[in-house]
């Protein structure tokens, strides 16, 4: 263990190796009580939190913050790998070796034939390789059940499109959205609660597909709209308060006038 601790403070070796050594020390018998207590499942909230913090740093275009958050995310990966090593399952280098081989396998146009492909052709090639190589059991497998629904809609459409099952252009999806709206109207008219739920789901899926065809992430687009709404609603609320009134003092039409002025 003395040798491992020396490795932690040895600035002549790669930072990644020092990070791996740190977790070996922290998880040792004389290490940190909190770190020794952790399991793969207990660490899940931290893993998700760090991923979201990376997301926000990118959204905010804060690259100083991104540098730090990526380090925190890598930290979680190394922590999980240390737990796996202790169980005898695998080590971090096994994970890295796996992704190296996967990246080579998924980029035959770079590492084999040197064939020039555009971004969409590359993505389509990935989906075909995943299935043909046996890496995935079927085209739509591999998506986490916990993934946000809009993101999953985007990825399902992307995977299906990768094997040719897709609309040719955005205008085709717009027609589909119009169809879904009409079907939703019919279910609302029939007062069929289950049918309404189904059609709203179909409509949201179609909208996510349109976003994908336009190369827009629907999850990001929705979050931006929500943030915009929250900002405007706060201004509306502040204006009402500045008049010494409450929402009950206004009709919907009057609130709409204030809302349009804020916009």
Which of 75, 59, 63 lies closest to 19, judged by CA?
A: 75
State how far the Cα of 167 lies from the Cα of 23, in Å rounded to an integer: 49
- Tokens 């591999």, located at residue: 142
First-last CA distance in the chain? 63
Which of 72, 90, 86, 94 lies closest to 36, judged by CA?
A: 86
3 or 14: which carries more pLDDT confidence? 14
State how far the Cα of 33 lies from the Cα of 43, in Å rounded to an integer: 15
- The tens digit of pLDDT for each residue in 17-73 reads 999 999 999 999 989 999 999 999 999 989 999 999 998 999 899 999 999 999 999
Q: Residue 135 above 80 pLDDT?
A: no
pLDDT value for 100: 95
Spell out the residues 6+ positions from residue 185 whose beta carbon is closer than 8 angstroms to its own.
Answer: none
Q: Please state whether the predicted TM-score (pTM) of the whole model is above 0.75.
A: no
Q: Which residues of 35-45 are buried (b: 16+ CB within 10 A; e: fewer)?
A: beebeeeeeee
Lowest model confidence (mean pLDDT) among 3-12, 41-50, 67-76, 194-203 = 3-12
Question: At 1, is the pLDDT very low, low, confident or very high (cuts 50, 70, 90)?
Answer: low
State how far the Cα of 236 lies from the Cα of 258, in Å rounded to an integer: 7
SS (H, E, C) the chain: CHHHHHHHHCCCCCHHHHHHHHHHHHCCCCCCHHHHHCCCCCCHHHHHHHHHHHHHHHHCCCHHHHHHHHHHHHHHHHHHHHHHHHHCCCCHHHHHHHHHHHHHHHCHHHHCCCCCCCHHHHHHHHHHHHHHCCCCCCCCCCCCCCCCHHHHHHHHHHHHHHCCCCCCCHHHHHHHHHHHHHHHHHHHHHCCHHHHHHHHHHHHHHHHHHHHHCCCCHHHHHHHHHHHHHHHHHHHHHHHHHCCCCHHHCCHHHHHHHHHHHC
Quick one: fold of 2-106?
Answer: Helix Hairpins (1.10.287)
- Tokens 């922590």, located at residue: 79
Q: Residue 2 above 80 pLDDT?
A: no
pLDDT value for 130: 79
pLDDT value for 3: 81
Domain limits, the chain: 2-106, 221-262
pLDDT value for 257: 92
Question: At 194, is the pLDDT very low, low, confident or very high (cuts 50, 70, 90)?
Answer: very high
Q: Give the pLDDT mean for 212-236.
A: 93
Q: Give the pLDDT mean for 117-124.
A: 84
CB 39 within 8 A of CB 55: no
Question: At 133, is the pLDDT very low, low, confident or very high (cuts 50, 70, 90)?
Answer: confident
Q: Give the pLDDT mean for 184-188.
A: 96
- The tens digit of pLDDT for each residue in 69-104 reads 999 999 999 999 999 999 999 999 999 999 999 999
């Amino acid at each position: 263990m003395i040798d491992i601790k020396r490795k932690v403070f040895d600035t002549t070796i790669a930072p990644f190796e020092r990070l791996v050594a740190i977790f070996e020390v922290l998880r040792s018998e004389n290490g940190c009580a909190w770190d020794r207590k952790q399991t793969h499942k207990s660490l899940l909230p931290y893993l998700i939190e760090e991923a979201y913090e990376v997301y926000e740093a990118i959204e905010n275009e804060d690259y100083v913050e991104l540098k730090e958050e990526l380090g925190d995310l890598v930290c979680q990966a190394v922590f999980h790998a240390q737990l796996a090593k202790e169980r005898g399952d695998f080590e971090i280098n096994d994970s890295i070796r796996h992704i190296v081989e996967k990246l080579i396998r998924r980029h035959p146009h770079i590492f084999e034939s040197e064939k020039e492909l555009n971004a969409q052709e590359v993505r389509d090639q990935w989906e075909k390789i995943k299935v043909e190589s046996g890496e995935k059991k079927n085209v739509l497998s591999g998506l986490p059940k916990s993934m946000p629904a809009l993101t999953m809609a985007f990825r399902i459409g992307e995977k299906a499109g990768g094997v040719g099952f897709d609309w040719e252009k955005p205008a085709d999806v717009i027609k589909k959205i119009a169809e879904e709206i009409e079907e939703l109207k019919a279910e609302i008219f029939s007062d069929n609660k289950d049918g309404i739920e189904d059609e709203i789901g179909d409509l949201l899926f179609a909208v996510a597909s349109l976003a994908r065809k336009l190369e827009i992430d629907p999850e990001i687009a929705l979050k931006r709209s929500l943030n915009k709404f929250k900002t405007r609603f706060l201004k509306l609320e502040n204006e009402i308060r500045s008049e010494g009134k409450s929402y009950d003092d206004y009709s919907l039409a009057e609130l709409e006038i204030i809302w349009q002025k804020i916009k």
